[in-house]
Amino acid sequence: MAGVSSFLKYSMFFFNFLFWIVGSIVFGISIWLRMQKIDESFILVSNLMIGIGAIITMLGFLGCCGAVQESRCMLLLFFSGLMIIFLLFVAVGIMGALNKSEICTDDFKNEQKKLKMIILGIPFGLAALMILGMIFSMALFCQIGRT
């Protein structure tokens, strides 16, 4: 504990607590999106987002435990999982951006645009948060290794 910055340790814990909350929110919104009347291509994206939200929730818990216990193994697992989720979020964002579905009515088309903005906003909006988490986890990982 002597070589590990208390500020970094508790910042990492706070970040991961927020990450756990955000993962829960992504999970909930994704389930809500899945229940909406959307076309088949968005069903795949919303199913993927449900899985990502569940994994983010678990990763947030893993990061909290790793920070409090100063466990290099947990922090490395957190970093690796976060990197995988980051890449999946980018893939979901690209899939959503490239989706060009053909629609029957204007009202349905407007509703689809709103849902598409939610689906696109979640992955790209969380990318900065994930990068910050990866930086925090590696900084704490390196500090624990020096002690």
Question: pLDDT, tens digit, for every residue of 64-80?
Answer: 888 888 888 988 998 99
For position 134, what pLDDT does the model report?
87
Which positions ≥6 away from 57 have C-beta within 8 Å? 20, 23, 24, 27
Which positions ≥6 away from 38 have C-beta within 8 Å? 46, 112, 115
For position 103, what pLDDT does the model report?
47
Task: Work out the average pLDDT over 17-32.
Answer: 88
Question: pLDDT, tens digit, for every residue of 41-54?
Answer: 677 778 888 888 89
Question: pLDDT, tens digit, for every residue of 72-118?
Answer: 898 899 899 888 878 877 776 677 667 655 546 566 667 777 777 77
For position 108, what pLDDT does the model report?
64
For residue 87, CA distances in Å to 9, 82, 137 come to 26, 9, 17
